[in-house]
A and B are shown apart, each in its own frame.
Chain A
Amino acid sequence: MSVEISSAFLLDVAAGQAVAAELWDAVTEQQLVHWEDEWMPVQREFVERMKAAGVERALLPQSRHWDWRRKAEAFSGSLANPSFCVMCQGMTQGMMIVNTLHKARVASQAGKELIYIEYLENAPWNRRHFASDQPRFAGVGSLLMRAAIEFSREEGFKGRLGLHSLPQSNGWYSNACGMTDLGTDADYQNLHYFEMTPEQADTFIAKGN
């Protein structure tokens, strides 16, 4: 499998400085090993802290739902499901799998092809499980969103994106990413469905300029 690597940067939060990073246009065995050997133990530790803090069992992260090895196997070789990852300091910081076979629902783009984001995850040390946690790196989400937009453009879909957001991420996709909230989707556990139009994609990219 050949992988194309783009140079990028993340913010080292503690140092307040940029660090060199990479966007890869694939999830390879290396990412899966990182997920198993590095992400999972840290995630398990967070779960233990949450349990100790009295968090309800139903709200604890379930690692089997983040089984990247199974996901990678399920989508292996699938032309409709390319994947991407972010690397920094030799470690996988984020992963994403998309789908090219979905259609836009928002009125102005109805029926047109878009890139649908199936899965997107930040490394556990980049997330806030506790309010006092300081993320190690910031910017993973933006790099992956930009990758999805550029891929959408490359395919002729003009930057159109679609995704179902978790409740605590609604604000990020709505406000920070400027996507249109099409409301809850009864076919998808009543999660909010968001879309990005070509104009919104331009605006998202312009935010950083």
Chain B
Amino acid sequence: MKIEFTNEWCLQMARLELEAGADIEIGVTPNIAPQPVGALESSTGSLPDANIAFGRFVRLMRRHRRQTLEGLAEVAEIEITELVEIEEDNHHKPEPRTVYQLAKHFEMPMPKMMQLAGLSAPKDASFYEEAIRFAARSETVEELNAIERAALEAFVSVLSEKK
């Protein structure tokens, strides 16, 4: 059976597949079907609230240090476009290198930052709860208010816990 595939068709469909991010396998017993480890995606590929916490954390840390987006991007040696996406797009999945650079710059433990960014699975469920609680308490205003500052400080101590 011969099929005429065009370059355009193949690439367009490949991009849709990549965006969907889902497995396509058929024929395995469901109770042993693997879920991607550390994947916070549902089968439609959307990210849960814990990823909002990462963007919120980065933004608050930046503002706490009175840095502009450009300033942070420059000193942390990361792409400014990605930094904007991290802070503004709740569905954005950051590059591991970017998370590493931010962890180094903010002097935060790398494993916890990777968990917060959704790039690895947390060892305990309470981490997610803390992240979501932090996201819920923090809001975007010009300067950190007392509530935001308290939320940020509490969350920083959670991230810094040796677990």
Contact = CB atoms under 8 A, between A and B. Distances in A.
B126 interface: no
B17 to A, nearest CB: 5
Interface string A102-134: 000000000000000111111000011111110
Interface in A172-192: 172, 175-176, 189-191
Interface in B85-141: 93, 96, 114, 118-121, 123
Interface residues of B, number: 52
Interface stretch (B18-26, B57-65, B68-76, B146-154): B18-26
A184 B25 CA distance: 17
Given A21-B10, A138-B15, 12 more contacts: A6-B4, A9-B11, A11-B10, A61-B33, A66-B28, A128-B39, A131-B36, A138-B14, A138-B18, A151-B1, A168-B22, A189-B30
Interface of B: 1-18, 20-45, 93, 96, 114, 118-121, 123
A154 B10 contact: no
Nearest to A173: B24
A85 interface: no
A208 B31 contact: no
B51 to A, nearest CB: 10
Contact of A166 (B14, B23, B38): B23
Contacts of B121: 53-55
A195 to B, nearest CB: 13
A171 B44 contact: yes
A208 B12 contact: yes
Given A50-B34, A138-B18, A139-B14, A169 B43 contact: yes
Contacts of B114: 132
Contacts of A10: 10, 14
Given A60-B32, A128-B21, A209-B8, A168 B120 contact: no
Nearest to B9: A208
A139 B27 contact: no
Contacts of B33: 59, 61, 166-168
A53 B123 CA distance: 8
Size category of the A interface is 35 or more
Given A171-B44, A176-B20, A189 B29 contact: yes
A58 interface: yes
A27 interface: no
A128 B36 contact: yes
Contacts of A172: 17, 20, 22-24, 43
A170 interface: yes
Given A130-B37, A131-B41, A208-B8, A150 B1 contact: yes
B85 to A, nearest CB: 17
B11 A141 contact: no
Nearest to A10: B14
Contact of B10 (A60, A61, A208): A208
A117 B25 CA distance: 10
Nearest to A21: B10
A142 B16 CA distance: 9
